[in-house]
Amino acid sequence: MLRWNNPLLSKRISALLAAIMLLVLASACGSSQATEPPSGNRLAVVTTTALLADLARNVGGELVQVTALVPPGADVHSFQSTPGDSVAISLADLMVSNGGDLDRFLDPLIQGSLSDDAVRVVAARPLLAAGNTDPHFWQNPEFTVTYVEEIRDGLINADPGNAATYQANFDTYKDRLIKLDFDIASTIGRVGQARRRLITFHDAFGHFASRYGWKVTAFVASDGGEVSPGRVVEILEEVREQGIPAVFAEPQFRSDVLDNAAQEAGVEVGSIYSDALDDDVTSYIDMMLFNAKNLARLLR
């Protein structure tokens, strides 16, 4: 039976009423995400990316229902929102975005749809405030701890009655992130110093390289734009001269230009993920371990 005096349910009723017309429009136009309200008394959390959704689930546990605007496997740089996304945001108790150039384009949608009493968290806010501009901070697990600290605080702000649970979940997940950092360093430490060069399709791994003492080069800028054949040939020629056996591309950015040029140069193209989780890599920790193991396997 519904308890109408429950603060989470009461808070959501007005948002549900305001969203009725948007739901009708979303049904007609289609939506990238489900727009159903959270079941029971779970806190409604909306994130801009699937990776942030994974972090929020680890801190929120069974107390939250999380929706990601950009679905798993999709490229955030080319994402197009739908009316259904506005509905999901309007029903949120907590909205989590990355910040910086990664998802800034969604700010007008969030600001226009988020209810006045919802809590908003920009997970990278402390890191951006320190002057960093590359928004892919999670490529360094130490920075990911900052992300989950911000998410923890946002959850407690939105649902103070469950503060102890959110803190306990955070403590457990933080321990896992510390272990992840150690495991990555141990895995890629098997690569010889001369081969510790990460050549990727798009520029998203600077924080990874800084954390573990690698050199990183990208074929295109961080927005994942079109690759220049001349740029590919130039870098692969340098790679071949230095005896580096592999370059890396994310599944959503794999291109015939890169594959063909790499084949001609005798260089393998390995898989690596920056943020687009999919059916094969379903969590942040799995993603980072997959990347480390692939680097060690193809560059040793």
pLDDT 10s digits, 18-43: 444 444 444 444 444 445 556 668 99
Distance of CA 218 to the CA centre of its chain: 19
Q: Taking residues 36-60, report their average pLDDT.
A: 90
Q: Which helix (H) or strand (E) holds 242?
A: helix 229-242
The long-range contacts involving 230-236, CB below 8 angstroms and separated by at least 24 positions, are: 232/257, 232/258, 232/261, 233/261, 235/199, 236/261, 236/262, 236/264, 236/265, 236/267
Q: Is 93 exposed, middle or buried (0-12, 13-18, 19+ CB in 10 A)?
A: buried
- What's CA 272's distance to the chain center, in Å? 14
pLDDT, one tens digit per residue, over 143-160 is: 999 999 999 999 999 999
CATH architecture of 7-183: 3-Layer(aba) Sandwich (3.40)
pLDDT (0 to 100) of residue 108? 95
Q: What is the mean pLDDT of residues 265-290?
A: 92
Domain ranges within the chain, ordered by starting residue:
7-183, 191-299
DSSP 50-119: HHHHHHHHHHHGGGEEEEESS-TT--GGG----HHHHHHHHT-SEEEE--GGGTGGGHHHHHHHS-TTSE
Find the range with the poorest average confidence among 35-39, 186-190, 273-277: 35-39
Assigned fold of 191-299: Rossmann fold (3.40.50)
Tell me if the pTM is above 0.85.
Answer: yes
pLDDT of residue 279: 85
Mean pLDDT of the chain: 87
260 or 15, which is more confident: 260
pLDDT at residue number 39 = 63
